[in-house]
Chains A and B, each alone.
Chain A
Amino acid sequence: GAGVSQSPSNKVTEKGKDVELRCDPISGHTALYWYRQSLGQGLEFLIYFQGNSAPDKSGLPSDRFSAERTGGSVSTLTIQRTQQEDSAVYLCASSSTGTGNEKLFFGSGTQLSVL
């Protein structure tokens, strides 16, 4: 596709359930990033992929959070046993090579609400 695609756009779940969020980056982009945007908190880095490897996952808040990327393309962010504090907009971004001065292309995000 032309841009970064995320699905679902909205997800409402009950506390304790697992959720999977999907990101389809721009074709050919080797770098992929997950961020979390909470009200009043700005954008919080979660994890960075270069190809299928994750050289930086320092932002994952707890072991309930995990992510994978397959085929150097689609990535899935999984949150197990969701908690109310996980409610946020989860943003995915990709860039061509992942060098530090490159433009990131963002998706529209997944709004996660944990009841």
Chain B
Amino acid sequence: GNSVTQMEGPVTLSEEAFLTINCTYTATGYPSLFWYVQYPGEGLQLLLKATKADDKGSNKGFEATYRKETTSFHLEKGSVQVSDSAVYFCALSARITNKLIFGTGTLLAVQP
């Protein structure tokens, strides 16, 4: 079946460090891929998405590239800030089912 695997946290970084959060997926067909973010005390919100192979989603300095050959959608940011501290969820949407399947989430803590 369809599933998402993302690296376990917590990930602790100093401000201005480079961030990578790994995400791989298993899916039939060609899913759309997403990163959602949950800031402390807030609801989940879409960070970025990519709908086909080789697409790059980007927002707020974060990027992720849809890699079909490695079934991956790793999240990267060149220089993190304290305000990026949150839980990040990788997700896929299989085109037939219309539902999002989420990974378990990765807690990012950025220290000043």
Contact = CB atoms under 8 A, between A and B. Distances in A.
Contacts of A41: 104
25 contacts: A4-B43, A33-B100, A35-B102, A40-B104, A42-B104, A42-B105, A43-B89, A43-B102, A45-B101, A45-B102, A48-B98, A56-B98, A91-B43, A93-B44, A100-B96, A100-B97, A101-B51, A102-B93, A104-B36, A104-B46, A106-B43, A106-B44, A106-B45, A108-B42, A109-B43
Given A103-B49, A106-B44, 16 more contacts: A41-B104, A42-B105, A43-B102, A43-B105, A45-B99, A48-B97, A50-B98, A56-B97, A91-B43, A98-B98, A100-B32, A100-B95, A100-B97, A101-B95, A104-B36, A104-B100
Contact of B103 (A42, A55, A56): A42
Nearest to A97: B98
Interface of B: 31-32, 36, 42-46, 49, 51, 89, 91, 93-105
Interface residues of A, number: 26
A107 interface: yes
Contacts, number: 62
A9 B46 CA distance: 21
A79 interface: no
B38 to A, nearest CB: 9
Report whether over half of chain B's contact residues are helix, strand or loop; otherwise say mixed: loop
Interface in A64-95: 91, 93
B98 A108 contact: no
Nearest to A55: B98
Contact of B102 (A42, A48, A56, A98): A42
Given A100-B31, A100-B93, A108 B43 contact: yes
